[in-house]
Amino acid sequence: MHLGIIGQAAGLFAVTNVDDILILSLFFARGAGHRGSARRIVLGQYLGFAAILAVAIAAAFGATFLPESAIPYLGLLPLALGLKAAWQAWKHRDDEDDEQQTAEGGAKALEVAAVTFANGGDNIGVYVPVFATAGVGGMSVYTSVFLILVAVWCFAGRFFATRPVIAKALSRWGHIVLPLVLIALGLLILAEGGAFGL
C-alpha cells in the first residue's frame, strides 16, 4: 500500500472534518456522567459518516462515466462549497454560535448520525471528485483510512470535551480554516487535471 495515498487520505479527512471535533466535543460534554452516552455518540458518528461515504462513493461511480477530460472540472464542487462557506462565515461573523441540542440523558445515536450527515455536505462535495479520480483501489484506501480516523476523531472529541479552552479555540477558527482548505482543494483538483488550460 502506497504511504502517499494514506497520507493524502488522512489529510483530506482532517481538513474536511475540523468542525466535527467541536460538535463531537459538545455531544461528549453534554453526555458526561450519563451511562452509555459515549457509546451512542461513537455509534452515531459512524452511522452518519457511513452515510456520507455511501453517497460520495455512489456519486463517484457515476462520475466515472463522464469523459476523462471532464473529471478535473469536478474541482468546481469544493471550490464552490469553500466560497459558500467563506461567504457564510463573513455574513455571520458577529453572530453567537448556536449550541447543539441533545436529550436529557445525552445524545442518541440517530441524533448524532443526523447531525454528522447534515454537516457532511462539504465532505461529499470534496470526496466525489477525489474518489472519481482515485479509482477503486485508491477509493478503498481512502475509505479505510477515513473509517479508522472516525475513531480518532471520537477520541479527540471526548478529550477536548474536558478542555474548554481548546474547544473554544476550535469554535473560533474552524469556520475560517475550512473555507480556505476547500477553496485550495478545488483549485488543486482543477490545476492538477489541467482544467481551463491550467
| Average model confidence (pLDDT) across the chain | 79
175 compared with 17, residue with greater pLDDT: 17
CA distance 183 to 86: 9
Inter-residue contact 132 to 57 (CB < 8 Å)? no
Q: Which long-range contacts (CB under 8 A, 24 or more apart) does 171-176 make?
A: 171/22, 171/97, 174/18, 174/19, 174/21, 174/22, 175/19, 175/85, 175/88, 175/89, 176/89
Query: Alpha-carbon distance 186 to 198, whole Å?
Result: 13
pLDDT band at 100 (very low <50, low <70, confident <90, very high): very low
Lowest mean pLDDT segment, chosen from 8-12, 47-51, 118-122, 125-129: 118-122
pLDDT digits (tens, 9 = 90+) for 161-173: 777 776 566 556 6
Reduced 3-state DSSP string for 126-165: HHHHHHHHHHHHHHHHHHHHHHHHHHHHHHHHHHHHCCHH
Give the three-class secondary structure for 84: helix
Q: Comparing C-alpha atoms, which of 188, 80, 70 is closest to residue 124? A: 80
Q: Which of 54-68, 88-102, 103-117 has the lowest mean pLDDT?
A: 88-102
Could you read off the pLDDT of 4-63 as tens digits, one per residue? 889 889 999 998 888 788 778 877 877 767 788 889 999 999 999 999 899 889 888 875
Query: Which band of pLDDT confidence, cut at 50, 70 and 90, is reported for residue 75?
Result: confident
Q: For residue 184, what pLDDT is reported?
A: 81
Q: What is the pTM of this model?
A: 0.66
